[in-house]
Chains A and B, each alone.
Chain A
Amino acid sequence: MTSGFIRRAIPGGLLCALRFLLGLVFLHASFGKILDPKTFAENLMVYQIFDSPQLVRYVAVTLPWVEWFCGVFLVLGIFVRSTSALTSCLLVAFLAGMASAMARGLEIQCGCFGSPQENVGPVSLSRDTLFLLTSLAVLLYRPDPFTLRSYLWNRKAVKVSSPAEL
């Protein structure tokens, strides 16, 4: 029902663009963290969510690659529903982390894109909320026809149907 509403409300082409943009955002966010996990770990530490430094280190080396895979899959259009479910969960977690930091009065750097320049605040919260809405739209909408998956499926279908056509 929700899916039907979104399908009516948002054109397929626009959703394809949103999926592509969301993928690029995740790819962009992953690069700095992949290249510098130590700084990302420090950014995670200042949120004061993790008690164990070991856990922080595992999260710091794993999360950027999760973002990278999500980005690649969304851009290419593979596993779109699974990937958008994962990005939605990640964005909810990011939002919860930032909201909790703000509620505790921490003036900390976001570390969202690996860059230490941006502080956690209304701007980062609004931006991630926008990304979450995009991700949910991609999740709830039936995958658009411009994905690599549908391209491969169509090619396969043409190959199978060719002998019969002859």
Chain B
Amino acid sequence: MKIGMGKQHLAAISRILMVDAGIVLLSAGIGIALNRSFVARPRESLVAYTEVGEELNSLSGRESKVSTQISGHALLSEVNRIVASKSMELLDGRSEKDYEAGHIPGAYSLSVAAFDTLFAALADRFPQSTPFLIYCGSGQCGLSRQLAERLQQKGYLRLKIYLGGYNEWFLAGNPVEKGKGLSFR
């Protein structure tokens, strides 16, 4: 009797597992089929990886001769390494108020709105060969892309954009700095 019950339970569990496996496989099939490009290689930022030059053209909605010169992309892990090793200068393209509320340690505040006033100080301090990592709030904010374009126009070509931005950095539990920090004023 007990053996019979055991077999029944086993059969019931097998049925449950088979149906569940079917649901998961069907879901994976539909999900992958409907999002093939995203699964293979996301067009826009999945946190931070995107070929920035290509995105600059498509997202700004206009052709830019210099945008394709922006090379590379920055993952969160890479940004961690960059911040730790100080191998690139970090530029925060958000407003000064947002910057003071919290920014990635070691980043300079260079608000896009104040670019024209602050650029001279940046040019004095950093030659055109300086590599910059630019970020703003997130991939959606667009300020980092605008800042990259402005810098390219001024001849700074070693640029990377961290599309995950401050939001991702903060949400990932990384250390942040508050206050005035580094500025070109």
Residues of A within 8 A of B (CB): 37-38, 41-42, 45-46, 48, 53, 56-58, 61-66, 68-70, 73, 79, 81-83, 85-86, 89, 104-109
Contact = CB atoms under 8 A, between A and B. Distances in A.
B38 A38 contact: yes
Q: Is chain B's binding surface mostly helix, strand, loop or mixed?
A: helix
A35 to B, nearest CB: 11
Q: Is chain A's binding surface mostly helix, strand, loop or mixed?
A: helix
B46 A46 contact: no
Contacts of B32: 58, 61-62
Interface string B154-185: 00000000000000100111000000000000
A105 B27 CA distance: 33
Contacts of A48: 172-173
B28 A109 contact: no
B101 interface: no
Given A69-B26, A107-B171, 11 more contacts: A37-B38, A48-B173, A58-B32, A58-B39, A61-B39, A66-B24, A73-B23, A79-B23, A82-B15, A83-B19, A104-B173
Nearest to A33: B31
Contact of A82 (B16, B35, B42): B16
Contact of B28 (A42, A62, A106): A62
Nearest to B24: A66
Number of chain B interface residues as a range: 20 to 34
Given A42-B47, A109-B171, A85 B28 contact: no
Interface in B41-59: 42, 44-47, 49
A70 B38 contact: no
A102 to B, nearest CB: 12
A109 B47 CA distance: 14
B138 to A, nearest CB: 8
8 closest A-B pairs by beta carbon, nearest first, are A65-B27, A61-B31, A82-B19, A66-B27, A62-B28, A82-B16, A61-B35, A62-B31
Nearest to B26: A69
B120 interface: no
A58 B173 CA distance: 24
A22 to B, nearest CB: 15
B173 A68 contact: no
Contacts of B171: 46, 106-109
Given A65-B30, A82-B16, A86-B20, A57 B172 contact: no
A40 to B, nearest CB: 10
A81 B49 CA distance: 41
A83 B46 contact: no
A37 B35 contact: yes
A69 B47 contact: no
A105 B24 CA distance: 32
